[in-house]
Structure 1
């Protein structure tokens, strides 16, 4: 186990403090944190307001510190927490400064394309290109670490603020530092104003470089000052940060937290992930607690996929008497009481679902539907899988996954193609749906082994209207094609299936006849060396996501599972609403069973209790024991012919099965 504290399981409670909270009762807050099951306190330290007596002119010291006898909230908190063995992390926010400092240093501030500062409730937004971020921020962190023994820092809203708190769009920054920096980054490219400007994609690359360099410098700065302090920031820190939250007007994707954690950990399994679960419904409604069933999902999805759970409130625990925190505390205390399950926990899934990272605005919605429908198809068919970010695909180890799914990604980069060819060479299977891996009419995969020639593309709704595929049972119950279709001419000797029915008229009813079978396939596959490559020139995930046809889900999942050389599905008599998350620690195999029967439109309901069942998973040897950690019970099991069958207990919100082996 790595010596740094953040490589071991931990649980955080964040108090996002207002100015008026500077006089808080430190011992009372620590009592609440301990009772919740947390061992780490994320506390507002500096930036917009300093909760300690800073001597730096770039900071505003909280005037409410006068209420404390010591005049130093951070000093009091660190001292009291140390007595209890609780770690303190510093929350920093350098995104804004007050009016006086903005007038003294306008060069620090964001400037709109019209030349205006971005002002919100009297505070000016700061630009990461400017001196405040590039230099003053480092002075503040040095001052804090010279005074206090903090376990690390989280930096809030370290970004180019094109939007404000009210989600009002301000445009691309035109401060002098940005103008000069962008000219040097992209000579000859006009400075854009917003997403509709020709150079906006180049601007995004520029801002990504500025933030990447800034974050790397800060990580090194913290490490030089205190090697035991972590930097928590996106996926560029010692710990990857993800905020799990709700928001007014945002359609709910029930699996968002699980998706984000899986995507982070599949790319870098050794990097810890920190999920900060927001206890209220939205920032403008921060005194309205989240629904308990919804909030529990934030933390449960986090720990099941190997992330560290954190709970986030405004003010002190006494200010947020939310019922949701009762549910959050139950999950947090389970993580505390069963910490051995989460020490070194990594995914043991053998299937990767690649999430696209380069969608054009015109195709983004359809590509997202294909990804999410594929996600649901695998989950409901009890196939454990990882989400793999497309920008991590190029570094994929050849034998990590037995099956890699490319859901409507478009053309691939050269390094992505090379990685997938290595998967095929290692005996793995690769499945490409939609227009994945097609570039200029040529299939990029297969190492020169032709699967098909590209004849045409149907992209519009009208172009595919009344187009059917012979997919699923019973015979004659055809599948509608929506979201586009690639017309392919299969090469000789390849396997084809699910052929298209030619489009006939669909109105008036008297003319709705004449659908003739064609030779255009909806499935093409062949061996590529020891591996197998399959192309689906349509979007089965999108069809399932938007139309809910279970026969489509079952047909395409069965088909792709048949390509793999090893079993990939958990055999079970439990219903589709049970999600299996397969993991492994140095000492045991860990299987989370998540009851998703409460998933409902735009909300989570209390899951329906499920009866006992059984699961069958591959196992190379006979186990020493199988235990249900939530039910706290030894389970009946049998092992025969390389298959372990486990009798599962009744299932409430979740269960965790731990399988111990004789040689671990």
Structure 2
């Protein structure tokens, strides 16, 4: 498209404190170049301006007096451009100082208690109010009138229900919100109108982002906006947080969801080099940051690393491995140019704005596919109706999503591939929503711990072992001609041991199939997420593999913890092997090296040329057991295979 950000790039963010305004621009640029980056994300304006602003809504950084020029941004733009490095402007319009809050109370967040949200002397402003809706545009205009910046990133552009300490402050009640919402505002999640307010808040941010994107594009088309779904570049911050359970695949999931929806829109993944904002002097575990970056580039994102202050101030051990991965991305530009998803399986992620998103079900199915080496892409449930790419997949998996939006139903009914559903997906009351469903009607729902406690499913076949039902089971009646499998073993007493008997085999199935559709009317993913039985994993993955006649997985003797990510770029078919063997409770440790593994390649012929990019060697395609494949080089953190001749 002729725009610089449609080619692979790499960034380094210095999140500056006020006292850093006197930094040595040339030294920082030396460090950024050595790191392998070609873009510098620099704090420019908002809470403090690192340039001599003339706007009454902005505060000049008093530490600019340390500079001979009095202008950090001007010095940085000139020096970066002399080296061919892009300068990206970080803006933060989330807060103002006390004087401006007193002068303009109409800008401020107002909590349900009628109080402003004040933290460390700064007052939060509301995205509905004039500071965002008017003043931020004037600030961006001033920056563009003075400097040829190469892009903008807006930090924390959201309705901040929590402050930096994590304290819940509620939904903003300012007059601008009241007018825009058009109904009594909720106070928080316990109010019935809260789900509607969350969609309102997202819509307001999307609308602001879209207007700002157009504003910038008219004035400087060479400068993209890095922000949300309506921006030029989708932003994802890969970070850790004290008190937040670690989902080891968060970065891969978020990048995949963005790239699957709009493969032509770049994604910017900013890997945080420290543990958490309150502990910003403590560097993150190197293996943890390595996973942020490897998961990002394997899914087609542009990598960025984020430090507090300057590289000299932030002596994080993780910067060594972050630099190596960044330089890998730089040195193999052809592999990452136009890298787009190419899996055959699509896993739908529950809408986060749903009243009860089925996160555990989704995460269990995610892990199941990963561990069985089935490459898959992720798509948000809210994007099903307008994705336009469903027919690029062989199988779509719907994880306990409940009643589907009419637009999603229409898209799935038009989809020509297979559909695998679990739990409540596609049921609206007793009605099965999707055409061709093997379910005639839903008769009852057993949902909750007690409702399914001690219930089991007995797989078909001699010698099969019962598996527990955990979460929910939906009692359904099959359509005429539907194939059913597995039988429910009814609940029975589970204590004391003397009374642990009485399970009855019922005529209720654990799987139904007809034509293109397979239904598992229970929460098999949640069961795997919560108890980790391989039987749950294998029942689900076997159902996905059986749903289509073509291979959708990769046959390999790699460990379960190695993810196979399939993409396609200018270089050919690209296979990332991401070694997650170092994943542990609430952390990543060093991955265990894997030696002597083989990958059978069902999507290539024996004449294919396969190159291991990391090891810098060609791999000969040989047949074993009648199937083409390659013997892999030793696998450390990750390897990248490029297959440049496909069947």
Q: TM-score range by the shorter chain?
A: over 0.9
Deviation digits for residues 436-466 of structure 1 (CA, Å, limit 9, x no counterpart): 100011111125x653332211112111111
Q: Does 1:368 align with 2:359?
A: yes
Q: Which residue of 1 aligns with 2:244?
A: 250
SS in 1 for 2:507: coil
Matching of residues 586-605 of structure 1 within 5 Å:
586-605=570-589
Distance 1:382 1:205 in 2: 36
Looking at structure 2, the residues matched to 662 and 374 of structure 1 have their Cα atoms a distance apart, in angstroms, of 29
1:167 aligns with 2:166: yes
- Aligned to 1:252, what secondary structure does the other structure show? coil
| Aligned equivalent of 1:186 | none
1:619 matched to 2:603: yes
What SS does the aligned partner of 2:100 have?
Answer: helix
| CA distance in structure 2 between the aligned counterparts of 1:182 and 1:541, rounded to whole angstroms | 37
* 1:58-457 equivalent positions in 2, closer than 5 A: 58-183=57-182, 189-357=183-351, 361=355, 363-364=356-357, 367-395=358-386, 396-423=388-415, 426=416, 428-447=417-436, 451-457=439-445
Structure 2 Cα separation of the partners of residues 503 and 95 of structure 1: 53
Aligned equivalents of 2:9, 2:142: Cα separation in 1:
26
* Residue 470 (1) aligns with residue 458 (2): yes
Corresponding residue for 1:553?
537
Q: Distance in 1 between matches of 2:232 and 2:627?
A: 39
Distance 1:79 1:375 in 2: 46
Given that 1:95 and 1:157 are in contact with CA atoms closer than 8 Å, whether structure 2 keeps it comes out as: yes
Which residue does the alignment assign to 1:658?
642
Distance 1:644 1:148 in 2: 56
Give the distance between the partners of 1:519 and 1:354, measured in 2 at CA.
30
Aligned to 1:41: 40
| CA contact 2:97–2:122 (8 Å) conserved in 1 | yes
Q: Partners in 2 of 1:77 and 1:52 — Cα distance?
A: 10
> Displacement, 1:601?
0.8
Flag the 1:642–1:661 CA change in 2: closer, same or farther, 3 A. farther
Deviations 1:265-300 (CA, angstroms, capped at 9, x unpaired): 111111100000100000011000000010100001
Does the 8 Å CA contact 1:369/1:542 hold for their aligned counterparts?
yes
The Cα of 1:471 is off from its aligned counterpart by 2.8
For the 8 Å contact 2:199–2:353, the answer to whether it is kept is no
CA distance in 1, matches of 2:552, 2:500: 42
Q: Aligned in 2, Cα 1:608/1:179: closer, same or farther, shift over 3 Å? A: same
User: What is the distance in 2 between the residues matched to 1:328 and 1:623?
Assistant: 36
Cα deviation per residue 1:121-167 (whole Å; 9 max; x = unaligned)?
11111111221111111111111111111110000111112211111
Distance in 1, Cα, partners of 2:507 & 2:181: 52
| Superposed displacement of residue 623, structure 1 | 4.1
Aligned pair 1:509/2:508, yes or no? no
Partner of 2:259, secondary structure, is: helix
CA separation in 1, counterparts of 2:450 and 2:161? 37
SS in structure 1 of the partner of residue 407 of structure 2: helix
The residue that corresponds to 1:486 in the other structure is: 474
Q: Take 1:83 and 1:435, find their aligned partners in 2: how far apart are those partners?
A: 58
Contact 1:472 1:478 (8 Å CA) reproduced: no
Quote how far apart the aligned CAs of 1:642 are: 10
CA contact (8 A) 1:17 1:315 kept: yes
Q: In structure 2, do the counterparts of structure 1 residues 524 and 622 end up closer, same or farther at CA, with 3 Å as the change threshold?
A: same
Residues 617-641 of structure 1 show CA distances to partners (whole Å, capped at 9, x for unaligned) of 2236554521111111111213699
Question: Equivalents in 2 of 1:54, 1:461: separation in Å?
Answer: 59
CA pair 209-360 structure 1, distance change in 2 beyond 3 A: closer
- The 2-side partners of 1:298 and 1:101 are apart by 38
TM-superposed CA distance for 1:418, in Å, is: 1.1
Distance 1:205 1:476, change over 3 A: closer
- Per-residue CA deviations over 1:588-632 (Å, capped at 9, x if unaligned) read 111011111111111111011111221112236554521111111
Q: Does the C-alpha gap of structure 1 residues 280 and 432 become closer, same or farther in structure 2, counting only changes over 3 Å?
A: same
Q: CA deviation at 1:643?
A: 5.3
From the superposition, tell whether residues 114 and 281 of structure 1 become closer, same or farther in structure 2 (CA, over 3 Å). same
Report the 3-state secondary structure (helix = DSSP H, G, I; strand = E; otherwise coil) of the residue aligned with 2:506. coil
Q: Is the 8 A contact 1:446 1:533 kept in 2?
A: no
Distance in 2 (CA, whole Å) between partners of 1:221 and 1:398 is 33
Q: In the comparison of the two structures, how many residue pairs are matched?
A: 646
The runs of at least 4 consecutive aligned structure 1 residues that moved more than 6 Å come to: 639-642
Shift of 1:204: 2.1
Deviations 1:554-594 (A, max 9, x none): 12211221111310010112221211001111331110111
Structure 1: state its 5+ residue gaps.
184-188
**Is the deviation greater in 450-459 or in 580-589?**
450-459
Out of 426, 437, 449, the residue aligned to residue 461 of structure 1 is 449
Q: Which moved more, 1:400-409 or 1:463-472?
A: 463-472
Contact 1:616–1:645 (CA under 8 A) maintained in structure 2: yes
1:358 and 1:60, CA in 2 relative to 1: closer, same or farther beyond 3 A? closer
Say if 2:438 and 2:513, in contact at 8 Å, map to a contact too: no
* Change in CA separation of 1:159 and 1:25 when aligned onto 2, cut-off 3 Å: same
Are residues 198 and 554 of structure 1, via their aligned partners in 2, closer, same or farther at CA, if it must alter by over 3 Å?
Answer: closer
Alpha-carbon spacing, 1:36–1:49, altered in 2? closer, same or farther (3 Å): same
Counterpart of 1:454 in 2: which secondary structure? strand
> What's the C-alpha RMSD, in Å, of the aligned pairs?
1.7
Moved more, 617-626 or 40-49: 617-626
CA offset at residue 472 of structure 1?
Answer: 7.6
Distance 1:263 1:80 in 2: 36
- Residue 476 of structure 1 deviates from its aligned partner by 4.6
Structure 2 residues without counterparts, runs of 5 or longer: none
Tell me if the contact between 1:619 and 1:643 (Cα under 8 Å) persists in the aligned partners.
Answer: no
In 1, distance between residues paired with 2:627 and 2:232?
39
- Give the match's secondary structure for 1:136: helix
